[in-house]
Amino acid sequence: MIAIIDYDMGNLKSVSKAFERVGADVCVTRDPKKIQASDKIVLPGVGAFPKCMENLQSYHLIDPLLAEIKKGKWFLGICLGLQLLFDESEEFGPVKGLGILKGKVVKFDEQSKLKIPHMGWNQITCKGGVTPPLLKDIPDNSSFYFVHSYYVDPTDKKIISTETDYGTSFCSSIQKDNILACQFHPEKSQKWGLKVLENFKNLK
């Protein structure tokens, strides 16, 4: 079973429905016992970074999440679910994140002529030509759907799986051991987005 964490910030219905379309057994929950009993964990996120952290704390979800990730359980962060993994965010901040990964969440350059938030379809490119597990059987430079004004800047560049260009080249997905996360929304990315979720479902 895949536990999709409910902390009043994710587009839970679309994420759960997308996983169901690829044959996954999912449970939308904030119950620590169900999280512990799950095979994999998904942390989606839509909204502001500080509110996300506040809700995770108020629902007492931080310790259960950290414990299961530490055990080596597969974890997928989506959009803010990626950003929350890092030390801190500039959004209404600095605001402390979960600190699982070293680095910061920074805003796109407001002086650029590009529209912020970065919203719509954009390509992702595998770093170093290496295909990460989430992108198995997905062509490099495929397009995915993004909605965000901030992006992650990892201290350890080796954890960056893919990059995307929007005025600057930014990290659009990461992997470190059992932790996988993407800035784009696979549940909104049609064919290849569903393939990402299927690949996550099939991880052993």
Question: Within 13 Å of residue 64, how many CA atoms lie on the same side as its CB?
Answer: 24
Helices 12-21 & 190-201 angle (0-180, nearest 10) = 80
Place of tokens 């059992």: 178
Q: What is the predicted pLDDT for the residue at 15?
A: 96
**What is the residue extent of each domain of the chain?**
2-201
Q: Is 187 in the active site?
A: yes
Q: In a 10 Å sphere around its CB, with 0-12 CB exposed, 13-18 middle and 19+ buried, how is residue 130 labelled?
A: exposed
By the 8 A CB rule, do 76 and 41 touch? yes
By the 8 A CB rule, do 67 and 142 touch? no
Pick the CATH number of 2-201 from 3.40.190.10, 3.30.450.40, 3.40.50.620, 3.40.50.880: 3.40.50.880
Instruction: Give the tens place of pLDDT for each residue, 3-15.
Output: 999 998 878 899 9
Q: Which helix (H) or strand (E) segment is 143 a member of?
A: strand 143-148
State the catalytic residue, choosing from 79, 126, 171, 182: 79
Q: What is the predicted pLDDT for the residue at 14?
A: 93
Q: Which residues pair with 5 in a beta bridge?
A: 29
Q: Is 185 in the active site?
A: yes
Q: What is the predicted pLDDT for the residue at 128?
A: 83
Q: Is 91 in the active site?
A: no
State the catalytic residue, choosing from 68, 182, 185, 198: 185
Task: Give buried/exposed letters for 43-76 (b at 16+ CB in 10 A, else e).
Answer: bbbbebbebbbebbeebebeebbeebbeeebbbb
State the catalytic residue, choosing from 68, 88, 91, 187: 187
Q: What is the predicted pLDDT for the residue at 159?
A: 97
Q: Look up residue 202 and give its DSSP letter.
A: T
* Structural tokens at position 162: 């893919």
Place of tokens 């479902």: 201
Local confidence pLDDT in tens for the 204 residues of the chain: 999 999 988 788 999 999 999 999 999 999 999 999 999 999 998 889 999 999 999 999 999 999 999 999 999 999 999 999 999 999 998 999 999 999 999 999 877 788 999 999 999 999 987 899 999 999 999 999 999 999 999 999 999 999 999 999 999 999 999 999 999 999 999 999 999 999 999 999
Q: What is the predicted pLDDT for the residue at 193?
A: 97
Instruction: Give the tens place of pLDDT for each residue, 141-160.
Output: 999 999 999 999 999 999 99
